[in-house]
Structure 1
Amino acid sequence: MTSPPRLSYFHNVGKDPLRALTIGYLLEITADKYPNQEAIISAEQNQRLTYQELIEAADKFAAGLNALGIKKGDRLGIWAPNLVEWYVIYLACARAGILMVAINPGSQAQEIEFCINKVGIKIIVCPYKGKYQNYYDILSKIIPELKSVETRKIANDQVSSLERIVIISEEKLGGTFQYKEVLGYANENNISRIQNIQHLIQPDDACLIQFSSGTTGQPKAAVISHFQVVNAGYEIGKRSGLNQKHHKICVQVPFFHVFGTSVSLISALNFGSTIVVGSPTYNPRENLKAIKNEGCTSVYGTPTMFIDLITMQKQLKLDISIEYALTGGAPCSPETFKQIRQVLNAKKVKSIYGLTEVSAVAFQSLMSDAEEFKLDLTVGYLAEHLEAKVVDEDNNILPINTPGELCIRGYCVMLGYWNEEEKTKEVIGADGWFRTGDKFVLQDDGYGMNIGRLKDVIIRGGENIYPKEVEDVLDTHPDIIESQVVGLRHERLGEEVCACVRLRSGTTVTEESLIAYCKGKIPFSKIPSKIRIVKEFPKTTSGKIKKYQLVKQFQ
């Protein structure tokens, strides 16, 4: 009898059992255990809330929403940067059984109208103005009569589901309610009602709707349950060492992204950690100052955010020491990991890999991983209670250590895309496996290597070239801050390799010098034949590089 082949399949059974908890009950547990522990600190807003103050604010806002006619099962859109109020509203929705819809704070009128109509948003909460846009003016474009709506009940055929708008501002604006006004609608009776309905909200109920990035079309609305968010947050926090001591976490990523909702906020909520916000909108200078002033022990961010933080630290040279740096959202180069350790004085640097559709994280570094052994090579070890496999185009499991598409199965896989049964079936099979669309290598020890998005693969003369392997070499160049590699059309080869690079101030790079630098490090066929210098990369609000825009720009 011959032995079966070693296939790219791994199951991490897990040590701690999953918990049948809602976010609302989790908040009660944490507030009871750490009532005086600071839950969130916002430097720019000059606000601090303890966990006791957080649950009181959440229940008051939840009661106020009920007074406005917003009930269990309704959808509330939060369209705002990283404000203290964002966290309060997130938890208020969970306590009231309302589905919170996390909207990109940079969204414009057309995108907001799409989000409202896509999932039937009944109420939107947003600031009056932000650093980069006027939210009220954008809403007025969608609802021209907004400023003259005396009853403050919206009735517009373009956004037929929308009934109420709440503005986080001291300004009184036509057709809207103030955030503090909604808090004022809370009284002893309706707050008590919120507290007494927690048993009616089930762990498997939907609690959160998050939009996919939508880089290849209109974004899809992923629906996530309480059970998924609570347990994902617990597993992520445990891997991050939040169960070992109290951590102050500087969160650079936007709250609306899955890196914010689950990796940052709910993992902190599981263990009574403190969230620190340097600035509501991304600002590396303010983030660095917050790390120093608040004594942050952990920092979360995308690779690009850490690159900006490193650049800023080289200028400011602040006295900081970080126990734990967590990077995710996009592949990170070994050179960036090295700089995080050296420049930011980080004792541990760890990586995560995940997607919105799997409630945040599928792979994450172990606390015990030796930096030089795993960090530069993998995105970490498979998360507990999950299965992973790597398949070919025909959905056959490939041999171990063979590149293919990563699939995930387990508690974390989303409930589905809102009102899109066919699109849900395209990514989640009848067997429960979710197809990630990522090119991946699964090792026999349970660690994974993310090669990149399948759609980003460059096919040059019939050879598959994965941008990350080229970017990892370019990022070691002394004059290059950051690189992104894309494929441009070529008459003979089909595609050619184009390196888009950000350079250090006062430096230059030529095609000849770059070719010379890459020789001997990667095969000649993978060396870029085109170079484009950029001052900034086009990015999503969550910090991901929009490669398709680079292709469009330089084609």
Structure 2
Amino acid sequence: MNLFSALRQAFPADLDACAIEPADGGTDGRFYSWRDLDQASARIANLLDSLALPPASRIAVQVEKSVEALLLYLGVLRAGHVFLPLNTAYQAAEIEYFIGNAEPAVMVCSGKNFTWISRLAFKAGTTHVFTLNEDRTGTLLDRAAFHADEHQPAVKSGDDLAAILYTSGTTGRSKGAMLSHGNLLSNAEVLKDYWGWQTGDVLIHALPIFHVHGLFVASHGALLNGSKMLWFSRFDPRAVIARLPEATVFMGVPTLYVRLLGEAGFNREACRHMRLFISGSAPLLIETFNEFRERSGHTILERYGMSETVMLTSNPYRPEDGERRGGTVGFALPGVSLRVRDDQGHELPAGEVGGIEVRGPNVFSGYWRMPEKTREEFTPDGWFKTGDVGKVSADGYVTIVGRSKDLIITGGYNVYPAEVEGFLNELPGVAESAVIGAPHPDFGEGVLAVVVPRPGASVDPAGLIAALKGRIAGFKVPKQVFVVAELPRNTMGKVQKNLLRERHQGAFHA
């Protein structure tokens, strides 16, 4: 079934009820009804149909968060094409790669970026470039306004491609994880039951919508339950606290919870109507977990997922299913199989640490146009190797203890050191570099770089940071750069990043 059709079937009977209320202020009471969602997505789908695109064309999107951006996603699904969301922080070199690799038929960007993005898109053979701005303007909406507000959704099977999410590779080359209609729908249906979605739930949506957490887990959850969303274009802790009494569900990354706790107004009274707080996309510190429970009276439910798999595990919602255990990501979700194996492929008993492997209806089919990489990441018996290292307790709780690929998660965003190192090593005066993550009080992990200068050259840490800011997304740019004579290496010549992490673990703490 087309994922859009499943979401549309879940709309409430009263289509004129509020579906999404912009919560940033200054909206003069404007809201989006369920009828608005249906009709606006139909106009966008009809616009795409009018372009006579090849079947299952990629529609690449790099725009600021807005309700219209969500409507674009629904319109793409409805028309049977493939949605390709791109982080708004990506710069020209990154966008050029994504366009070249995915070969989208349509590119949608912010008006402020149209000049340089359209140049890259047209050069790569993309036929159509539209603009979409967060203030409800842009050529996409201008064109869609001329189309009918009824549309018969394209017929799709569960195996048909619905979205491609790019996740940076450890070699510096980004990989496009291919997610099907079945992958996304099966996961949304499991979470609807497992997290106890109920009539009357209201979701505070304060996450970006260019990755799994905000676009799929949060949006699908509310839409599949016919639940109203209080929509924040960006996270503001005081503004969120002011709306908590009207909501029942909140989803955030650990950074957002830290910022809520930093506000004096965050207390049990503000959370009196809340049903559930969910955290993911990065490890939640046990200190944050405990302080949040004390301040709010609620125990955060932490879960674990990936771009390639959507959600894999979750702490339980219902008390009868077990406690929400801090420091863990709970149990494998219904329908998901999870195992831990050593480097020789032997399955490990409870409590022993090894590589986490998974399979299930939510697991992606592979990486876009990378068959060899896809084969590498799946075992001969069909399990996906997550690259995460962890253990499972005797009573089934999963704990993530590390990442075999040195992934850094800062503020909920993934940073792969090899990618940043590649850009650093191209800068004048740099001989080599090592990028690592260090504990950060706000972002969970902060990116820092250790750089070795070329013989006779001197490098300025601030200058290196400034140079990177114009080339890669801001969250990937090291917050600190240290200059050293040489990097620590083992007998095989491999950089010992564990020693660098130990040396700089206090870099972001006063």
Shorter-chain TM-score: which interval? 0.7 to 0.9
Aligned to 2:44: 61
Equivalent position SS for 2:164: strand
In the other structure, the counterpart of 2:68 is 85
- Select the residue among 288, 301, 321 that pairs with 1:350: 301
Superposed CA deviations along residues 280-325 of structure 1, whole A, max 9, x for unmatched, are 2343344334435xx12111111112112221x2267795113211
Q: Is the 8 A contact 1:169 1:179 kept in 2?
A: no
Q: State the alpha-carbon separation in 2 of the partners of residues 49 and 303 from structure 1.
A: 29
Distance in 2 (CA, whole Å) between partners of 1:534 and 1:246 is 43
Is the alpha carbon distance of 1:422 and 1:307 closer, same or farther for their aligned partners in structure 2, counting shifts above 3 Å?
A: same
SS at match of 1:115: helix
Counterpart check, 1:265 vs 2:219 = yes
Q: Residues of 2 paired with 1:170 and 1:402: CA distance?
A: 52
In structure 2, distance between residues paired with 1:186 and 1:123: 18
Change (3 A) 1:530 1:234: closer
Residues 1:307 and 2:258 are matched in the alignment = yes
The equivalent of 1:222 in structure 2 is: 177
Alignment check: 8 A CA contact 1:485 1:497 kept? no
Structure-2 residue corresponding to 1:335: 287
The answer as to 2:100 corresponding to 1:125 is: no
- Which residue matches 1:164? 129
33 and 226 in structure 1: CA distance in 2 versus 1, 3 angstrom threshold: farther
After the TM superposition, which residues 299-448 of structure 1 pair with which residues of structure 2 at under 5 Å, given as runs? Answer: 299-311=250-262, 313-314=263-264, 320-321=270-271, 322-343=274-295, 345-358=296-309, 360-369=310-319, 373-448=323-398
Q: How does 1:242-261 map to 2 (within 5 A)?
A: 242=197, 244-261=198-215
Q: Secondary structure at the match of 2:117?
A: helix
Mapped to 1, the partners of 2:354 and 2:86 lie a distance apart of: 32
Provide the C-alpha distance between the structure 2 equivalents of 1:220 and 1:482, rounded to a whole number of angstroms: 24
Task: Write the mapping of 1:43-62 to structure 2, written as runs, cut at 5 A.
Answer: 43-44=23-24, 46=27, 47-62=30-45
For 1:540, the equivalent position in structure 2 comes to none
Residue aligning to 1:504: none
Query: Secondary structure of 1:375's partner?
Result: coil
Residues of 2 paired with 1:168 and 1:482: CA distance?
28
Taking the aligned partners of 1:247 and 1:434, their CA distance within structure 2 comes to: 34
| Structure 1 partner of 2:237 | 284
Which deviations, in whole Å up to 9, do the C-alpha atoms of 1:201-240 show, x marking residues without a partner?
2222111111114465122101111111111112123222
Change (3 A) 1:329 1:206: same
Aligned counterpart, 2:229: 275
Number of residue-to-residue matches in the alignment:
434
CA RMSD in angstroms comes to 3.2
Change (3 A) 1:184 1:374: closer
Matched AA of 2:72: I
Q: Distance in 1 between matches of 2:289 and 2:159?
A: 38
Distance in 1 of aligned mates of 2:398 and 2:311: 13
Contact 1:22/1:201 (<8 A) preserved:
yes
Q: Quick one: distance in 2 between partners of 1:383 and 1:371?
A: 12
Cα deviations across residues 246-279 of structure 1 (Å, max 9, x unaligned)?
Answer: 221122321111112221111222111222222x
Q: Distance in 1 between matches of 2:328 and 2:134?
A: 45
Cα distance change on mapping 1:214 and 1:185 into 2, 3 Å: farther
Q: Tell me if structure 2 keeps the 8 A contact 1:170–1:178.
A: no
Moved more, 314-323 or 92-101: 314-323
Which of 135, 141, 161 lines up with 1:180 in the alignment?
141
Q: Distance in 2 between matches of 1:169 and 1:446?
A: 44
- Offset at residue 70 of structure 1 (A): 3.6
Instruction: Check the 8 A contact 1:325/1:346 in 2, yes or no.
Output: no
Residues 180 and 374 of structure 1: CA distance in aligned 2, closer, same or farther (over 3 Å): closer
Give 3-state SS (helix, strand or coil) of 1:210's partner.
strand
Q: Structure 1's 205 and 167: CA in aligned 2 closer, same or farther, altered over 3 A?
A: same
Number of the residue aligned with 1:40: 20
Quote the residue 1:76 is aligned against.
59
Q: CA deviation at 1:72?
A: 3.4
Matching residue's letter, 2:249: S
Q: Match for residue 209 of structure 1?
A: 164
Shift of 1:409: 0.8
Partner of 2:97: 114
Measured in 1, the distance between the counterparts of 2:407 and 2:35 equals: 49
TM-score, with structure 1 as normaliser: 0.71
| 1:484, distance to aligned residue in structure 2 (A) | 4.2
Gaps (5+ residues) in structure 2? Answer: 409-438, 451-486
In structure 2, the CA distance between the partners of 1:495 and 1:168, relative to structure 1 (3 Å rule), is closer
- TM-superposed CA distance for 1:90, in Å, is 1.0
Alignment TM-score, normalising by the size of structure 2:
0.77
1:22 aligns with 2:2: yes
Kindly tell me: are residues 483 and 160 of structure 1, through their superposed partners in 2, closer, same or farther at Cα, counting changes over 3 Å? Answer: closer
Q: Which whole-Å CA distance do the structure 2 matches of 1:235 and 1:162 have between them?
A: 38
Equivalent-residue separation in structure 2 for 1:387 and 1:170 (angstroms): 44
Code of the residue aligned with 1:136 in structure 2: it is F
Contact 2:355–2:386 under 8 Å retained in 1: yes
When structure 1 is superposed on structure 2, of 231-240 and 371-380 the one drifting more is: 371-380
Q: 1:237 to 1:452 in 2, by over 3 A?
A: farther
Q: CA deviation at 1:386?
A: 1.4
Matched residue SS, 1:342: helix
SS at match of 2:210: coil
| Structure 2 residue 482 is the aligned partner of structure 1 residue 531 | no
**1:418/1:41 CA distance change after superposition, 3 Å:** same
Partner of 2:36, secondary structure, is helix
CA contact (8 A) 1:302 1:327 kept: yes
Spell out, residue by residue over 1:443-468, the C-alpha distance to the aligned partner (whole angstroms, 9 max, x if none).
2333211112123499xxxxxxxxxx
- Decide whether the 8 Å contact of 1:340 with 1:349 is kept in 2: yes
User: C-alpha offsets along residues 398-444 of structure 1, whole Å, 9 cap, x if unaligned?
Assistant: 12221000000111110211111011111123422000011110123
